[in-house]
Amino acid sequence: MSAGVPNQNGTITPVMFPSGYWRLMGVHYAPSLQTRRGVGALMCNQVGPDYAEYYKTVRMLVGMLVAKGFDCLRFDYTGWGDSQGGCEEGSVRQWLADIASAEALLKERSGCSKMCLCGFGFGGLLAAAHAARCEAEALLLWESVVDGRSYCRTLRKNHSAWLRGSFVKATELDKKFQAMGFVGAADLERQMRQWRLTDLPLCRAHRVFAVVQDGSSDQAVIAEHLSRGGISVKTCAPGDALPLRPMRAAIAWLEGMAGDG
């Protein structure tokens, strides 16, 4: 494990940690002692071709959260980013185990009593699934996938359109489940298609904040499904390429959560 690197708002510590058979790469962003709130935010990144784009959003949100006193951990799932494993090793079950391992690590390193799960894209679906069986206080869904089947269909469609408009010709090696750089085992698509927000057990988090397009069907699904059992659901539109507005709204919402006894 590397030593922490001090920066203007706290300390950044890259860390390799175990998740079952694999070692995952994570980075713990700890706030300064003066601002520390005792609340952890676990970043469950996107699983898809736009992983690297979401990485920038995650990194930006983390920077703003740390400045407000939250402990944050971002990590790469098995077979993604700097974590161990090849593209064949990724599975929905493994990614859920990775989230549990990352959550345990964040609790251990920060000593936080409250936890917020932040899920991006398909990572939102994974975070919601984990929230149904852990003690997280809050769930932040950032442009979360709500239906794995339609998500996979969109990936395939976009991949085909991209192939048509490029010089690229797929070969035998490209028979795996591929979508513009997102590669998985043949079975992965089948697994991902089975996941739907509405099929998940009731979320145990007390409150949910969703960054979702206004008036979209996803907004209705999230609001209807997650508000069951008296959970408070707040939504905000994603905005432009630089999503400062939803970030500020999400942070204000999280500060409200941290302030509640």
Partner 1 sequence: MDESAVVFGSQSLVGILCEPAQAKEMAVIFVNAGSTHRCGPNRLYTILARRLAAKGYASLRFDISGIGDSPPATDLGKFRDYAARQVQEAMDYLAQAKGYPQLVMLGLCGGADIAFDGGTANERAAGLILVNGAFVDGDAFADLYHKASRKTANRFYAAGLFSPRRWWRLVTFQSQFWKRLARRKEAAPPAHTACDRSTAEMASVDSRLKWETLARRKANVLLIYSEGSVFWDIYKAANKNYLKSCYPADRLAVAFHRNADHTFTLLSAQERLANQIEQWLDTLPPSHKIAERIAI
Residues forming the site for partner 1 (CB under 8 A): 1-3, 5-8, 12, 14-16, 23, 25, 27, 52, 55-56, 59, 76, 80-82, 84, 87, 164-174, 176, 178, 180-181, 183
Radius of gyration of the chain (CA): 18
Q: Is the dihedral of CA 99, 105, 107, 109 positive or negative?
A: negative
Using CA atoms, how far residue 80 sits from 49, 64, 183, 231, 254, in Å, is: 11, 25, 10, 32, 28
Q: Which is nearer to partner 1, 15 or 200 (CB)?
A: 15
Query: What six digits make up the tokens of 202?
Result: 């009731």
Closest distance to partner 1 from the beta carbon of 227 (Å): 36
Instruction: Return the number of the residue (163 or 237) whose C-beta is nearest partner 1.
Output: 163
* Shortest distance, position 236 Cβ to partner 1, whole Å: 25
We find the least distance from the C-beta atom of residue 203 to partner 1, in angstroms, to be 30
* Consecutive H or E run containing 149: helix 148-164
Please identify, using beta-carbon distances, which residue of 4 and 256 lies nearer to partner 1.
4
Closest distance to partner 1 from the beta carbon of 129 (Å): 24
Q: How many CB atoms are closer than 10 A to CB 149?
A: 14
Among residues 93 and 176, whose Cβ is nearest to partner 1? 176
> How buried is residue 154: exposed, middle or buried, by Cβ count under 10 Å (0-12/13-18/19+)?
middle
Between 15 and 134, CB nearer to partner 1: 15
* Residue 87 CA: distances (Å) to CA of 51, 81, 137, 181, 205: 14, 10, 32, 11, 31
Nearer to partner 1, 72 or 226 (CB): 72
Residues 6+ apart with CB under 8 A from 132: 200, 201, 202, 203, 204
Q: Tell the smallest beta-carbon distance from residue 223 to partner 1 (Å).
A: 34
As measured in angstroms, the least distance from the Cβ of 78 to partner 1 is: 13
Closest CA to 236 of 46, 42, 61, 115: 61
Size of the chain, expressed as the number of residues it contains: 261
Compute the least distance from the CB of residue 52 to partner 1, in Å: 5
Indicate the residue among 174 and 199 with the shorter CB distance to partner 1. Answer: 174
**Dihedral angle over CA of 210, 215, 221, 227, nearest 10:** 60
